[in-house]
A and B are shown apart, each in its own frame.
Chain A
């Protein structure tokens, strides 16, 4: 945080107050009653003015009590897809007293998240879920978040801000799917290129007598000893290929995003079909692998493409 930012943080008031539409009308009415009281000297108008003003003070006191001892912890998920709703959870607790009607909002650019907590007591932390949406791919450094309340009467919205440092990895947006041209880009892996198609590494199909010049490593020695001739095992042929996808990290931001989305969709498609996928993106390299774990690794790597880890996106 720069010196200027620290100065701004120091100067910033601890609470922000905004007037709602109901509050504006209420203030206008209060002003009218006040003018009427001053103009006429009608003591009942003074009494009413006193109550209207006291309600404003009451709003300030109760909203301050609601916000004062609140503590918030953000429970960040492993990752989220850009443009899609994902659950972002917060743990809200009180060190004293009770809070009503808290609205939690993220103040980080590029992330929309709102959660509402009707009641928090000091006896029990409350975990609340916000349906959050991150707009763009990348490592999103979460900082300030805002806790506000309209309690007690909805005349004013009082809020305070928390600084909670977290990093949310935002995967490329889903939906960029096109059929891959595997013959061009993919490489055969294992026995995928064997024309006999029964010497793969898949499930066991049966036993067959070993022909000359065939790989003796496939001999099933126990069965062969039982029947007195060499029998080999036949397995299903695996139709698995190995892909190494690449992204040019020097593209413009928008083009890079599109490229990442394409690669992510391709990764999801290929891994869904059982292939192995690797990645080359700038300095990042992932060896081909299969399974959901590999998909998550590729998506994470794609999220970081174009971003230095030490800078805010």
Chain B
């Protein structure tokens, strides 16, 4: 009995240790050998092997050596200090798991696991951290509670394991709720300026801007729901779905298979101006490129004017980042980081501005082996249009009409453009953009391919762009207007394509992660102030009439009163467990009586069970022995402080159900 109890306690302890380790390991910062070491030790502990139990001095010496080595590596800068600390906490936890299994050892394992959890908090920002934290809290507290009821002296007798587990589990639910309340309400002394940012996370990076746009293959990225960017706009459009183009980079050179950009990185600066400043109809964007973006190319709404206030977010904190402009409007961040924040200003004004001359030859370049049918098709599709802009508009409409949008494309083909225009007549945005750009060039109109995102989904006052929102379109140059956007892609193909189960799951995970980042990782004093303000004074649209008093609203007071009453009643109910319950042994007595009655053995009026047992012994009844045993155990359980152990009552009752066949028949009228 005690062995099973100890095993349960140690299993719970091991689960807690694994949860703590997972919280740190999910960051990916811990070296692989540390993960392997902990995994091996954990499996050994689960199997009940304790190799360090007999060698405490040796294992302690090994631990000391490991501490010195890790300290040395951290001192020399080879290993991050936090990673070194997490590694050492892992080794301590592993060593204690394999030591002699005592209650003190369990406590040491759990304390070392708390260090691991702290390391996980510093190293990781994954949503799984919360699950690991709460799993650790639950299993660790259960393990400690089981150790406490065993008392100061080990005993083999029955102990109330289930009641303890039930009460502690309920208590931990309240503790977790309390932790959440503390998290929400405790004033933030630091505005999250030094928190570590996580890497791309479990799903990795997905949507970075590449140096080329290669035609061919499926557009798998269009089904990817990973959030790569968040932006708040000023003025706020206030719409749920933003139908806007976000440009990242442009490509001018087409080689038949892929588009390439060119240009060299300019000098580093904190602010980059890429377009003519407009004094009206500008929109300011505060953009955060998430780790899943995995690129240093900045993105802004078309047409960008300036990029400024760039901050790099790394695992060691955040800091200002330097910018560099490539030839054209493309802007890079020179400082490597997991994610970035910056401010971009774009012009929404249509019409001519200061137009700078361009190298026309570069934007009229055509691949050497261009299929001659492309030019012929362009000539045919332009119809009666004569001006460059009218030609572009006509070609855009014709392409959209003649060709269909699809993501189901075979592998590479020799001439993907000809395949798109003359064979399959379907493709994705890169095919449409390439076809329009090349056809415009064949007609002598300078054009280029632009890559970025299309759309934006409103979430919590900001717009989220996902990897599937990646898009490509065409920009044509006109002498009097400069670069003008044309998008031949059918409108239903511009946005993220959804449908598969996996995409839905990823989308769900992304929503969770987005909520996690917004509600937890980036929760700040400003959010607290806003929450209090919303609670005390609802937003203007929620208030029917202007309120002159500064007192909390009736809704807030009602909610607070309801929560207080609910909490009071719950605690009171927990404290007062209702009317007295019958003694557990009473049910056993009733079961004995029912069983004896079924066997034809009846108690006399007022005859106690022990007297019935004595009467059966006197008459040498075959049930005398099992009845005597059952009676004795009932009396011990009811009055002697030795409760029935689990499974004992059915066993005693089963003995009563099997009278030997040689049992004498009861005499007629005899009372047994």
Contacts and interface: CB of A to CB of B under 8 A. Distances in A.
Interface of A: 22, 25-26, 29, 32-33, 36, 38-55, 57-58, 61-62, 65, 68, 96-98, 100-101, 103, 114, 116, 118-119, 122-124, 126-128, 150-154
A47 B126 CA distance: 13
B576 A100 contact: no
Given A42-B195, A49-B182, A97 B175 contact: no
B190 A54 contact: no
Q: Is the interface of B mostly helix, strand, loop or mixed?
A: helix
B172 A58 contact: yes
Given A47-B133, A47-B183, A58 B171 contact: yes
Sorted from nearest, which 4 A-B pairs have the closest CB atoms? A41-B190, A50-B182, A50-B179, A54-B178
Most chain A CB within a 10 A radius of its CB, from B130, B145, B583: B145
B149 interface: yes
Contacts of A25: 111
Contacts of B125: 44
Interface in B516-558: 520-524
Contacts of A29: 111, 114-115, 118
Contacts of B107: 22, 154
Given A33-B118, A50-B179, A152-B145, A41 B580 contact: no
In this complex, the interface size class of chain B, counting residues with CB under 8 Å from chain A, is 35 or more
A101 B148 contact: yes
B352 interface: no
B655 interface: no
Contacts of B193: 41
Given A26-B114, A100-B160, 17 more contacts: A33-B121, A36-B122, A39-B194, A42-B194, A45-B122, A46-B182, A48-B117, A51-B133, A52-B114, A54-B182, A100-B148, A123-B583, A123-B584, A124-B584, A152-B141, A154-B144, A154-B148
A65 B164 CA distance: 13
B462 interface: no
Contacts of B194: 39-42
A301 B528 CA distance: 76
16 contacts: A40-B122, A41-B188, A43-B523, A46-B183, A48-B117, A50-B180, A50-B181, A51-B134, A55-B175, A58-B178, A62-B167, A65-B574, A97-B576, A116-B153, A118-B150, A152-B164
A225 B646 CA distance: 75
Nearest to A51: B179
Contacts of A46: 182-183, 186, 188
A44 B580 contact: no
Contact of B168 (A32, A42, A126, A152): A152
A157 B238 CA distance: 57
B117 A98 contact: no
Nearest to B157: A118
B163 interface: yes
Contacts of A33: 114, 118, 121
A122 to B, nearest CB: 6
B581 interface: yes
B195 A100 contact: no
A189 B216 CA distance: 127
B550 to A, nearest CB: 29
Contacts of A40: 122, 190, 194-196
Contacts of B584: 123-124
